[in-house]
Structure 1
């Protein structure tokens, strides 16, 4: 039980925290001895592990524990009965051993080598405290009352004496390496680019020998920053950000090639870039990139979500995040018109404002760099990657695109730096590559950059629309095609680009082709991209002419993905608003299918889209459609359920449709009389 609990603590705890538990007073002596022996064995097993730093302190600690293990084994072998005073000592040792195991785990942990190096003084202090803890526990041990051989007793006394006098210090080599890192951060802080040889020396000292080793360090630092931000304990975030910038620069500059194991294994979230809902970017806060729940306008005329701009100002910023202009005042004007539009849009599409950001974490803080050193490192790295994209060989360009794809995944400042450095034009050229990996990495990087306002502009003004559409149409892999579709969606969030994209002959047909033949991820991205394009009314005719209705109806009959079906119904509802769309749906004999979907779907949003379609069909199709609906006795039950379970807008549409059907029935009854 003790060991199971300790393992749980190890899995849940943060690095350099030691949440050890004291054995209960009523614990069985045999159980305590067995657990103490097991802990000692675990600690001694760390002899075979690699320690990039703290080697001398680790050796000394393990040596003392190994001697005490001989003592524990002797007691076990003789089956001795332990007195209360011995149990008290062993209980204190058990607590200390747990903490030592935690500390050794941290010092040998993959990905934490740089962090352990720069925290050397703190780590040494922990070793010193724990060794003193062993000495304190042994001071209360009545050794003479324990019937073990004199040689074993002498060993225990030796450990107690050495533990009391132990002088654990930072190793001189560790201190030299740490100072090199801190000096480099100081230079970055002043805007000076690091020397390659110094970076290489530090990495070699830490035994970081490959791109993958470096990437593990970056992931560890990112996780630490995320934990500190989520717990509102951000004291070390600037320093962690500096280290993250340092290590990101090393990964991009020092390691020229990807490891074989990483060559074809990008983060799954990068490949399967799926648009989570039909949220036009017009309604998203430029800071958090989430739907605005309380939009307010600042002195520069830009609109932000109230909570995001308040965080921005509270952090000490005095400029407009989007324009960079200095704010004349910090007053907010509620944008009530936009708020009503967002609420209406969410009601129309079954989106809960309270849950709109559930799939993505808040990246508000990344609009500005975590520290001056991190900012400088990112700017230097952006220029380096831009040069590689322009002048590098094939594999160098591929790696540069891969790096950009990772750097832009969830960091707004990184996106801005890479756009400013001029990476978009060469990435667009790389789309024509015959190398599948290079094409995927290029379109993946462009997808992330298209989420930035200036990224969209540079992409279109650089003639990027045709290369992106070429990947959508004839990409070397399905992953490339589906990322191209997602990029089209983000570009279509700009009002002026919807017409431009729609006027390109192959855009809508290519998206529809992806809906027919793509993966579920590809289908969803294409459906949402078409929805974005339909916000420009003229594109509806082009979608209808390309056979959009039948392709979307096929989704309803063949797919088992609830979100994909709901998105398809949303697009059909938009098409049905006009007479041409209504007639196309009726010609496809889809009326019964829509009614069946309304009755069978478990998704509230999908049901409300069905009601929207049926209401449009009634308004545009007249009595012929209404008559068919009125004859279906099960339809009313489905509509009644939405009156109580639907959104306010969905309930209103269901009520309107019920009224139309009731009036039709009454008219028929009057005529019969």
Structure 2
């Protein structure tokens, strides 16, 4: 049977038993599956309670009958095997249905689909009745009680009434009414929201958030379908739950601010032992954000392999094997590994397009609900208690992490940015961290740059960079400076703020890997301002970068350090600082065909700049290194277009120098010979 993690909710991929299966095996499997179904009685149901209980009672009666068949031993015939096979197929579907009905993270979706669920129960009960109708009771051995029991089960299956339950109908209407209110831009009463959540047993922030995360995954799957029939409903329901999460639950004590509350994760030792190349899609060679496995067992990023199939290809890109079918199975374990790897190494992890744009792009209710919520949270930030402000900052942090449309909603509410900036200096570690993380997310929206600058926010962010109450807050401040520096005027202003240069240098020296990554990115953008170039050189940036290259095993830190050195080397003083620091041999050592293409490209750019700006010092050293020439020729033939051109330019410089040295040596030798002969 398909694992629950690999199927959509209310989707029942039952498998019919093989025709050659042994009768005893079929019967035992059917009984075991029946016991599993009966086990759902101990689990909580939030919709279709009566229908589920009726189904469980019917299957309990069937189990008694099936146990009697096994104990008594019956004459095996085709009709009996056919009947039991049909029951096994139905039992699988009942099992899937009850799995969905008792899920702790799909309560709202199952409630809204309760009429559809009741129809499923009705169809399955009829299927059981039909299977019992074709049961050859005359071939069953044993006493009369077995046959009477079979007749009883058959009658019970026929007479079991399944209907759309009144309580479910009432609450479905309440949910849809609130969704309609959202579409009209009307904020619902909190008491109405609370009644619905109480009916569903959702009593905490974490329980509500689990529902949100589940609907996010369902939306991502729905976007991959052709029809996208349920996309609007799913988006509206997620907006409903997000609104409830923000409005109804004030206690965030149990919510971890480091975003580690979702899933168990893998140990850091396990992550460090993995080869990061295994996370790259074989088609794009980029890190996979939504890995899926095809029938050949190969894993690709979902968007890449879908594009491959839509181009008319029906083969596995890696093996070339012809595919009989093109089903995609989500590789959830690999996705979790990739997410944790990215988290520990400071690599941005972009979710699917739907998650990036958020619920607002999928439904009017979602867009209006987010607009209402943005105003509510902005008001809490402005005039709420410290606990309410902290909660509001955390919610904004969550909502703006991967949704560009949500960012625009919050930035357009004018009070959001000034209120978040005020939280930075209140002296509360959690409030400061959440506010800084929210500002980091919002700084990806262009208008934020202007608002932060107008409210003296650049100085406040630099203060957090240097004096942040938690390491995470200082890390987020560096990340925010990276985005805020995208504006030319801000680059100059930030460079002139006391502590901005030293703060980034300190983070690069003593911070975590993710903090170093953010610092490097911010420095790289700030270097685009000529005034900052000399400031970083005077602060000893080259030595720090050399230390990172020497001691870090993280590919991303190596690549960004090389990129920063490359930017420094474009000017004469930068090139000379790199030469005098003794970094050149390290760069030559890093340049290797096995190194990442990005790292190689920065190495080549860096060496080319050093040859142009400080050729007297650089070229003689490069000429003596034979392995360097091999690496350069390899990059010319197999590197990117950009790196190949630069490698060719570098080789020309080295060859020209070598030819001049050869000519000079020959000329010198001829002159000496003439002198000797004359003498």
Measured against the shorter chain, the TM-score band is 0.7 to 0.9
Cα deviation, residue 265, structure 1: 5.0
Number of positions where the alignment pairs a residue of Structure 1 with one of Structure 2: 585
1:374 matched to which residue of 2? 366
1:532 matched to which residue of 2? 525
When structure 1 is superposed on structure 2, of 610-619 and 153-162 the one drifting more is: 153-162
1:248 matched to which residue of 2? 242
Is the aligned partner of 1:147 residue 2:138? no
SS across alignment from 1:482: helix
Give me the CA root mean square deviation: 2.3
SS across alignment from 2:12: coil
Describe the shift of the 1:371–1:418 C-alpha distance in structure 2 as closer, same or farther (beyond 3 A).
same
1:362 matched to which residue of 2? 353
| Runs of 5+ consecutive residues of structure 1 not aligned to the other structure | 1-5, 273-289, 291-306, 308-355
1:455-470 alignment, distance < 5 Å: 455-470=448-463
Cα deviation, residue 543, structure 1: 1.3
What are the superposed Cα offsets for residues 422-465 of structure 1, whole Å, 9 maximum, x if unpaired? 22111111112333222221111111111111222222222211
How high is the TM-score relative to the length of structure 1? 0.83
Whether contact under 8 Å (1:210, 1:259) holds in the other structure is: no
2:541 matched to which residue of 1? 548
Cα deviation, residue 74, structure 1: 1.5
1:329 matched to which residue of 2? none
2:445 equivalent among 452, 467, 470: 452
How high is the TM-score relative to the length of structure 2? 0.83
Whether contact under 8 Å (2:238, 2:359) holds in the other structure is: no
Distance 1:92 1:581 in 2: 77
2:153 matched to which residue of 1? 159
Distance 2:248 2:497 in 1: 42
Describe the shift of the 1:149–1:465 C-alpha distance in structure 2 as closer, same or farther (beyond 3 A).
farther
1:106 matched to which residue of 2? 100
Is the aligned partner of 1:11 residue 2:2? no
1:96 equivalent among 76, 90, 96: 90
1:189 matched to which residue of 2? 183
SS across alignment from 2:223: helix
Whether contact under 8 Å (1:469, 1:484) holds in the other structure is: yes
Cα deviation, residue 10, structure 1: 3.0
Cα deviation, residue 544, structure 1: 0.8
What are the superposed Cα offsets for residues 253-311 of structure 1, whole Å, 9 maximum, x if unpaired? 11111252646655579x99xxxxxxxxxxxxxxxxx9xxxxxxxxxxxxxxxx9xxxx
Whether contact under 8 Å (2:462, 2:500) holds in the other structure is: yes
1:29 matched to which residue of 2? 23
What are the superposed Cα offsets for residues 161-188 of structure 1, whole Å, 9 maximum, x if unpaired? 1222332111111111111111111222
Cα deviation, residue 573, structure 1: 0.6
Distance 2:450 2:145 in 1: 80
1:328 matched to which residue of 2? none
Distance 2:40 2:602 in 1: 60
Describe the shift of the 1:357–1:475 C-alpha distance in structure 2 as closer, same or farther (beyond 3 A).
closer
1:170-249 alignment, distance < 5 Å: 170-249=164-243
Distance 2:258 2:575 in 1: 46
Is the aligned partner of 1:508 residue 2:476? no
Distance 1:164 1:657 in 2: 84
Distance 2:348 2:538 in 1: 35
Distance 2:564 2:390 in 1: 36
1:434-445 alignment, distance < 5 Å: 434-445=427-438
1:420 matched to which residue of 2? 412
Distance 2:180 2:262 in 1: 36
Distance 1:601 1:500 in 2: 41
Distance 1:494 1:265 in 2: 29
2:466 matched to which residue of 1? 473
Is the aligned partner of 1:643 residue 2:669? no
When structure 1 is superposed on structure 2, of 657-666 and 192-201 the one drifting more is: 657-666
Distance 2:522 2:473 in 1: 15
When structure 1 is superposed on structure 2, of 100-109 and 611-620 the one drifting more is: 611-620
Cα deviation, residue 150, structure 1: 3.2
1:319 matched to which residue of 2? none
Whether contact under 8 Å (1:70, 1:152) holds in the other structure is: no
| Runs of 5+ consecutive residues of structure 2 not aligned to the other structure | 269-288, 290-302, 304-346, 668-679
2:14 matched to which residue of 1? 20
Distance 2:450 2:120 in 1: 53
Distance 1:259 1:240 in 2: 29
Is the aligned partner of 1:602 residue 2:595? yes
1:108-147 alignment, distance < 5 Å: 108-147=102-141
2:620 matched to which residue of 1? 627
